[in-house]
Amino acid sequence: MTGLEGLLHGFTEAWTWTNLMYAFLGVFVGTLVGVLPGIGPALTVALLLPMTYTLDASASLIMFAGIYYGAMYGGSTTSILLNTPGESGSIITAIDGNKMARAGRGAAALATAAIGSFVAGTIATTVLAFAAPTVAALAVKLGPADYFALMILAFITVGSLLGSSMVRGFASMGVGLLIGLVGVEQVSGQTRFTLGLPQLNDGIEIVVVIVGLFAIGEVLYTATRKGGRVRITPIRGRAWMTRDEFRRSWKPWLRGTAIGFPFGAVPAGGSEIPTFISYTLERRLSKRKEEFGKGAIEGVAGPEAANNANAAGVLVPLLTLGIPTSATAAVILVAFQQYGLQPGPQLLDTEPDLVWSLIASLFIGNLLLLVLNLPLVGMWVRLLHIPQPYLYAGILTFALLGAYTVNNATFDIFLMLIVGALGMAMRWFGWPLAPLVIGAILGPNAEVYLRRALQISTGDPTVLVESPFSITVYVIVILLLGVPFLLHRWEKRTAAAITAASGSPEDESPAVAQKSE
Amino acid sequence: MRWFRNRGELGVAGLLLAAGIYVLLDTPTIRITPGQLAIGPRFFPYMVGAFLTLVAAGLIVGVVRSGSARPDTDGEAPAERPGPAAVRVAGIVAVAVVHALLLNLTGYVIAATVLFWGAATLLGARRPVRDGIIALAVASATYALFVWVLQVPLPNGPFGGDV
């Protein structure tokens, strides 16, 4: 099926009351958790994984994709009104968005974020629909050695591009790889690193890892802080903007989309980098450079479009190669696997109804999000008034419930607490969390592909660099290992420039809460 | 003393190093099936073990030389939560362990009420009675949602399912 046929087919599939309801539920819950500080989309989807035991595949996947998009929307609201980004893709939004809110232009900031997200989401989902069949057709031809190369690429980019330093990204990834080793391995069925515990024979459940890392880690980390009141910038009426603000916004929306999508689509994770690039670009192109850091609408419009386009881009490698490049995509992959479905080049042929109704429901979800966000923003803001002790006690309760329901065993609760303690330490020392998740999920796959490739070649390692595809990928890997240095330098310089421009450094840097993106 | 306070990350890096060494030492005990064509089940663990050891070493060097990357953002915020941080964290872990032990003893609703109430109190909730009522409400609603709507079984305990 081509993109257009598939989309039309998908719309007829998605256009049932049940699927519409799940799309609505998804974006609703997604916005809700995106708004709440401390809960990101990866965690929400992971917490809701027990639903896969009773719901059918298309309903729950439509809902999970809705949560993903919804959380991207909701995150911008927290950034703008609280100056505490709800997820990592919204960190940049907080800089100018919160300044606009304090200057009484919060409604315009929220509107440009919401409409920008809609524009970006719609364009990017269209590109996804047309790119997916093409990428899948190419991916069918890839051998195990090529897949191994792609996974090395994903490891390197996710490990090196996220977090405060490269070595901490790789440390996080190493822990994930170790977690992935535990249990009976898939090729020759040997038990590894179970410490003699029979409960570990099936490996450490990825749900336990993700929920423990994000939820328990966040709760314990919060407990280490002294606490204190957050300042919510009040906003009156609906979110809207003037004609002039609209004129200043539409170009950044389109440029943000163009930057965000490719960064998601290549197996190279992270929604922070495209938002950061978009911000820098808008600042450079603007005639009012001095406004940046003080409430420039372009500084909200561009990055918000970029992070939503990025979310759609991430679905390309997930659906066509089975490679997740963000923590949320990794959890959605787990949801697929709960139904015995393996995302990859064959998925479009074996499950066309599912894939196309999923993509079509993203369009529907995007429209629903615009409707939910523009007039109802006041309702979401009220959620921010839930007292912190209740919010985090609730997260803890749900997280432990999630651990218990995996195998109906208390063993997983203890395991989750250990992972949670690790998550707390990682937050404390500024280690990125996503590399651990990617390492734990992709590690076992990478081993299988490596061993398959070497079995075919009867042990000859040159098979790994035989195809032009794998050679290209390794060249990119080598180049990428140099890029982070440049990006970090660039980031520091821009941050310094922004601080200098606005004058009040303490006020300027938004508290970078580390969230699942 | 101050040198060490800025380098608490060494503890985590040390654990990472220990994990790497453990992987390297334990890998030779993995059984190999005869007739293995290429690399067996030991190769990848060796790679992971070596990777962990190297990264841990790099991290230790980095922390010793320039300290942790940890930004201290707590500032002079007014203390709203009881006791020192370590006590709060240990308290929450203890409450979670009690929750796990209570699950099969008293059933989900009571175990979750204890968990929610304990965690909320440790995180700074100040009105025990109101907090208890909210805890019971959250636990009951969760039970209802999972058992009756999603049909995921949860332990009932001695009182049956209707608390």
- Rounded to whole angstroms, how far apart are CA atoms A50 and B150? 9
Whether residues B6 and B57 share a domain: the answer is yes
Residues of chain A with C-beta less than 8 angstroms from the C-beta of B26? 193
Q: What is the largest CA-CA distance in chain A?
A: 69
- Rounded to whole angstroms, how far apart are CA atoms A122 and A216? 34
- Residue B59 inside a domain? The answer is yes
How many beta carbons lie within 10 A of that of residue A449, not counting itself? 22
A184 strand-pairing partners: A191
pLDDT for residue A508: 37
Whether residues B53 and B102 share a domain: the answer is no
ipTM: 0.90
Contact present, B68 and B39 (Cβ < 8 Å): no
Torsion, CA A207, CA A211, CA A213, CA A214, rounded to 10: 140
pLDDT mean over B17-29: 91
- Rounded to whole angstroms, how far apart are CA atoms B2 and B21? 30
- Rounded to whole angstroms, how far apart are CA atoms A101 and A234? 8
pLDDT for residue B60: 92
Domain that holds residue B155: 81-88+97-163
Domain boundaries, chain A: 3-508
Of A34-43, A196-205, B15-24, which gets the smallest average pLDDT?
A: A34-43
Give me the residue label for tokens 């998804």: A26
- Per-residue CA distances from A229 to A64, A69, A389, B74 (Å): 32, 29, 12, 12
| CA of A373 vs chain B CAs: smallest distance (Å) | 27
Contact present, A37 and A83 (Cβ < 8 Å): no
Question: Which of B42, B59, B136 to mutate: most A Cβ within 10 Å?
Answer: B59
- Using the Cα atoms of residue A473, residue A479, residue A482 and residue A488 in order, give the sign of their dihedral: negative
| Residue predicted with more confidence, A37 or B160 | A37
pLDDT for residue A295: 82
Q: Is any Cβ of chain B less than 8 angstroms from the Cβ of A457? A: yes
Closest CA to A80 of A304, A241, A371: A304
Whether residues B105 and B163 share a domain: the answer is yes
- Per-residue CA distances from A470 to A134, A344, A464 (Å): 19, 18, 7
How many beta carbons lie within 10 A of that of residue A141, not counting itself? 10
Subunit contact A193:B23, Cβ cutoff 8 A? yes
3-state class of B36 per DSSP? coil
Whether residues B102 and B151 share a domain: the answer is yes
Give me the residue label for tokens 């020759």: A188
- Residue B110 inside a domain? The answer is yes
Q: Which of A191, A219, A428 sits opposite B70 (nearest CB)?
A: A428
- Residue B76 inside a domain? The answer is no
Question: DSSP string of A489-504?
Answer: HHHHHHHHHHHHHHS-
Percent of chain B beyond pLDDT 90?
Answer: 46
Give me the phi and psi of B128, to 5 degrees please. -55, -40
The rounded mean pLDDT for chain B is 83
- Using the Cα atoms of residue A416, residue A422, residue A423 and residue A424 in order, give the sign of their dihedral: positive
Subunit contact A164:B116, Cβ cutoff 8 A? no
Q: What are A407's two structure tokens?
A: 């195998």
Q: Is any Cβ of chain B less than 8 angstroms from the Cβ of A383? A: no
pLDDT for residue B15: 94
Q: pLDDT band at residue A481, thresholds of 50, 70 and 90?
A: confident
Residue A131 scores a pLDDT above 80: yes
How many beta carbons lie within 10 A of that of residue A63, not counting itself? 28
- Residue B61 inside a domain? The answer is yes
Instruction: Please give the interface size between A and B, counted as residue pairs whose CB atoms are below 8 Å apart.
Output: 213
Q: A481-510 burial by CB neighbour count: b if 16+ within 10 A, else e? A: eeebeeeeeeeeebbeebbeebeeeeebbb
- Rounded to whole angstroms, how far apart are CA atoms A377 and A354? 32
**Residue range B49-99, pLDDT digits in tens:** 999 999 999 999 988 887 776 554 444 344 556 667 888 999 999 999 999
Residue A458 scores a pLDDT above 90: no
3-state class of A191 per DSSP? strand
Q: Is any Cβ of chain B less than 8 angstroms from the Cβ of A404? A: yes
How many beta carbons lie within 10 A of that of residue A350, not counting itself? 11
Q: Is any Cβ of chain B less than 8 angstroms from the Cβ of A167? A: yes
- Residue B55 inside a domain? The answer is yes
Percent of chain A beyond pLDDT 70?
Answer: 87
How many domains would you assign to chain B? 2
Put simply, the chain A residues between 192 and 251 with a CB less than 8 A from any chain B CB are: 192-193, 216, 219-220, 222-228
Q: Which of B8, B69, B103 sits opposite A430 (nearest CB)?
A: B69
- Rounded to whole angstroms, how far apart are CA atoms B79 and B84? 10
A192 strand-pairing partners: A183
- Residue B41 inside a domain? The answer is yes
